[in-house]
Amino acid sequence: MTDERIEEQQYVGGVTVVDIGDLRVARGMTRRPASSCRHARMNYDPRERRVWCRDCEKDVDAFDAFTLLVEQYDRAYKHINKKIEEVEEAARFQCRSIAAKNVDEVWRRRKVVPACPSCGHGLFPEDFAGSVSVVGKEFAKARRKAAKP
């Protein structure tokens, strides 16, 4: 590996001229053009301490390899979080489905009807046949909490 330090060159007139390529390197930009290969199939050899691409057979820069790994990790992390949200939503929906199934099962019996958990009055299917009266969830929770001793 060669030592690639920026070498300032002195000229006769005393003006210091810096090669634009050296300035680019000093500012953190690379001299190398961007490759068309995304190096998606990277190989690594711990003995040689080398990372290379199986597709283009070129050595992969450590920063490029790290960036690719971070991007893949980020995609996987977001995918897992999305799946967790889907499972939680399914659990909430399942709770509603189970509740509706239980109420329906009680309504099918001939001698009993489900009772309102807060006031204890019976709930009949006819109460819900036309339109359903609604109340805000937070208001209902607060009202139920205030009614309990």
| Boundaries of every domain in the chain | 9-112, 114-149
Single out the residue of 121, 128, 120 nearest to residue 104, CA to CA: 128
Q: What pTM was computed for the model?
A: 0.44
At 30 the pLDDT is 56
pLDDT at position 115 over 90: no
For 39, other C-beta atoms within 10 Å of its C-beta total 21
**Whole-number Å distance between alpha carbons of 8 and 22:** 9
Whole-number average pLDDT of the chain: 78
Cα dihedral sign for 86, 88, 91, 97? Answer: negative
68-91 pLDDT tens trace = 889 999 999 999 999 999 998 888
